[in-house]
Structure 1
Amino acid sequence: MRKYKVAEMEVKPLVDKGGEVRVMMSPKTVDATQLIMGTATVPVGTTVKKHVHDYGEECFYVLQGKGVLYLEGVESIEFSAGEALIVPKGVPHSIENTGDELIKVVFATAPLAPTAQAGHRNMGGNGHA
């Protein structure tokens, strides 16, 4: 039977990228075929490791907090709650929490990569893009 709904707390968090990521909509959770979607949190003073999505673009909507999105070779963009951002396909990026509260976002990436490992490639180090 196909699943259409997932609760955030049903999904085991990924903690190896900096912050906490819960991929809620994916081929493993709801048989998604075109995208992934989930939530992420970034504690105060923490940076999400530089990474790249080679197969698709990523967008996120900021529910809480403020920070800086670093896009390698492009620019640094300050953001806060109530704003949405997009990361172009193939652009290495990282996020830094520059505020005084937890950052919480909803993110989506599309199109879907052929494997989970291919969809998110770490660039090494903890620094800015």
Structure 2
Amino acid sequence: MSKVTGSEFSGRRFRIDDFAKAGDVATRTGVYGTDSTSGVVWRLKPGQEIVPHLHNMSDDVWICIQGSGVFYPEKGEERPIEKGDIIVSPKGICHGMRNTGTEDFIFVGILAPVPSDYVALK
């Protein structure tokens, strides 16, 4: 991920709609990256999933912008998640989700520190 040129505030202001890309699977689009953190926008069409996983060295914060679904706080567990929720997953803690709604699910993800690992739990 690199700084976006031409955006306002010298690459510090971004529009979610410019990054919320849809694909055949849950789609993660990088917004920014620094030496200590990264920011992405995720878009999941109805039925798409981010498998349960964890990061051994990083916290992952999700800020839910649109839609509804289920969050995986542990492998095999599901909890409702929706627009307006903020999910904090400290390092070493399971997280993932599936869009169970009728509209696309969009959230901003902030991961720190970076670089980070990814451990799939499914």
- Pairwise TM-score range, normalised by the shorter structure: 0.7 to 0.9
Does 2:32 correspond to 1:25?
yes
Shift in CA distance, 5/74, structure 1 to aligned 2, threshold 3 Å: farther
Shift in CA distance, 97/112, structure 1 to aligned 2, threshold 3 Å: same
**TM, length-normalised to structure 2:** 0.74
Shift in CA distance, 45/89, structure 1 to aligned 2, threshold 3 Å: same
Contact 2:64–2:83, Cα closer than 8 Å, also in 1: yes
Shift in CA distance, 99/73, structure 1 to aligned 2, threshold 3 Å: closer
Q: One-letter code of the match for 2:28? A: V
Contact 2:54–2:94, Cα closer than 8 Å, also in 1: yes
Shift in CA distance, 74/59, structure 1 to aligned 2, threshold 3 Å: farther
**Equivalent residue number for residue 101 of structure 1:** 103
Deviation at 1:122, TM superposition (A): 4.3
Give runs of ≥4 in structure 1 deviating > 3 Å.
Answer: 6-11, 73-76
The alignment covers a number of residue pairs equal to: 111
**Equivalent residue number for residue 60 of structure 1:** 62
Q: Give aligned-pair identity as a percent.
A: 22
Could you give the per-residue CA deviations for residues 1-53 of structure 1, whole angstroms, max 9, x where no partner exists?
x9552767887x7x79x400012111xxxxx1110111001110111123221
**Equivalent residue number for residue 41 of structure 2:** 39
Contact 2:54–2:121, Cα closer than 8 Å, also in 1: no
Alignment of 1:112-127 (within 5 A): 112-113=114-115, 119-123=116-120, 125=122
Contact 2:40–2:110, Cα closer than 8 Å, also in 1: yes
Does 2:11 correspond to 1:5?
yes
Contact 1:47–1:95, Cα closer than 8 Å, also in 2: yes
Could you give the per-residue CA deviations for residues 33-90 of structure 1, whole angstroms, max 9, x where no partner exists?
1101110011101111232211111011111001111022695331111121111211
Structure 1 unaligned spans of 5+: 27-31, 114-118
3-state secondary structure, aligned to 1:71: coil
Instruction: Output the CA distance in 2 between the equivalents of 1:96 and 1:10.
Output: 23
Structure 2 unaligned spans of 5+: 4-9
**Equivalent residue number for residue 91 of structure 1:** 93
**TM, length-normalised to structure 1:** 0.70
